[in-house]
Amino acid sequence: MTSRCIPALMCMALLAGALDTHAQSGPRGGRGGPGGPGGEGRGNAQQAPRGDARPQAAPVTDPMAALERELPSLRLDLKLASDQTALFDSFSRSVRDAAEAARARVKRLHAFNFDDTSTVSAASIVQTVTEADVARAEAMRATGERMDVLYATFNPDQRRLFDRRIMQSQREPLGNS
């Protein structure tokens, strides 16, 4: 099972890096960007105002945050057996821990007063990022381990559904439409 889950986790990590880069530079045209097909893209933070003035959910840029949003419906759709429920709960907690580690990294960086460079040292920024990334890596490792244990209990139909929904959570995150 580990060999099957490692590529999925690597894909999520690469997607996180790509999305982080996109979030820093913004869309540059093409699909989903200004002037691209369809005008504003799905989940684009710079959407044209709608007539109903409903608040827009922030686009999901973290793979674990996207997966975290998918967990409640995934749990129901998997039709878990009683012995799988505790394993799914453990997996869910680890996904939430990994998503929270990413959110904590952003919060810690935002806590710096970047306008006053006299109080911010490069070393403190690098140390903060390093500590946050180590915490995230540990949470991701735990998620992979718990996913392997859960996945091993799935029947073929549950495996297909789980694989499809994990990939779907990355392509079409809930809350971005």
Return the domain boundaries, the chain. Answer: 2-23+60-171
Report if pTM > 0.75: no
CA–CA gap between residue 7 and residue 70 (Å, rounded): 20
Q: Give me the tens of pLDDT residue by residue for the chain, a chain 177 residues long.
A: 555 555 454 445 444 554 444 444 444 443 344 443 444 343 444 444 444 454 444 455 788 999 999 999 999 999 999 999 999 999 999 999 999 998 988 888 877 766 666 677 888 889 988 999 999 999 999 999 999 999 999 999 999 999 999 999 888 766 554
Pick from 167, 177, 176: nearest CA to 67 = 167
CA separation, residue 144 to residues 5, 41, 101, 107 (Å): 7, 31, 15, 25
CA separation, residue 1 to residues 110, 149, 155 (Å): 38, 8, 13
